[in-house]
Structure 1
């Protein structure tokens, strides 16, 4: 279930880095640089049950998807091509999050914490 998500997210990060370079920027994708810039918590779990990992992953998707939305708002005025790229990625990310949530929702639709 998660391997296709990992592969797709890796492809997304490569695409973003290529776009940054294409526009004359320098993509910095080291773990330190990424963690210093984001506002959401790191994946908080080491060893745990599958459901616990899925809850933690859902929180990561909240952060990544929120960052994509913020970037899309900024890019709407600056670079519609990059905005469109992120829009497509966000659609995939939301679908992945939906799949994760399908495994951690109760029968009444409430998410596990």
Structure 2
């Protein structure tokens, strides 16, 4: 491991947190790419509003990936956001390439946001149990951002009757 900049965290906890952070980094990067895949391919009623929203959500999720990567470095680790690593380690399945309808994309992407949010909440608990409250805090902030964007995107889904 590299030099650690976080004091008060022992090496084994730092290494455990680096693994947890890198796992979530893969998920967040994959979610960003899924959002762009959706952004490029959606068509239909409500297209422009969702298209613009996805630019905004992509920017916020990239900020989350930066926060995670920076925390990895602070803990003495190496962030790994290589495409091959993301493809191997992400919890998300490949984004479907056979859909174009805005509503179908909204449902698909919202589901993915919720899945990533769930893993972030699990990471909050794991970091807290390990005694790394700063990493738990980071995951809490990331979870809030992902939850809010899931809500923004999901608000464009057809209303159930």
Shorter-chain TM-score above 0.5: yes
Aligned partner (choices 93, 108, 113) of residue 41 of structure 1: 93
Does residue 124 of structure 2 align to residue 72 of structure 1?
yes
Gaps of 5+ in 1: 109-113
Higher relative contact order (CA 8 A, sep 6+): 2
Q: Distance in 2 between matches of 1:36 and 1:73?
A: 24
TM-score, normalised by the number of residues in structure 2: 0.61
Change (3 A) 1:35 1:71: farther
The reply to whether residue 102 of structure 1 matches residue 155 of structure 2 is yes
Q: Quick one: distance in 2 between partners of 1:45 and 1:67? A: 24
Runs ≥4 residues deviating over 6 A: none
Equivalenced residues, count: 108
Q: How many angstroms apart in 2 are the aligned matches of 1:73 and 1:44? A: 31
1:96 CA displacement: 0.7
Deviation by residue 1:75-100 (Cα, 9 ceiling, x = unmatched)? 01221101111101111111111111
CA contact (8 A) 1:45 1:56 kept: no
State the partner residue of 1:13: 65
* Pairwise CA distance, 1:46: 5.1
Counterpart contact for 1:58–1:97, Cα < 8 Å: yes
TM-score, scaled relative to structure 1: 0.85
Tell me the SS of whatever aligns to 1:86: helix
Calculate the aligned-residue CA RMSD, in Å.
1.6
Instruction: Give structure 2 stretches of 5+ with no counterpart.
Output: 1-52
CA contact (8 A) 1:43 1:60 kept: no
1:89 is aligned to 142
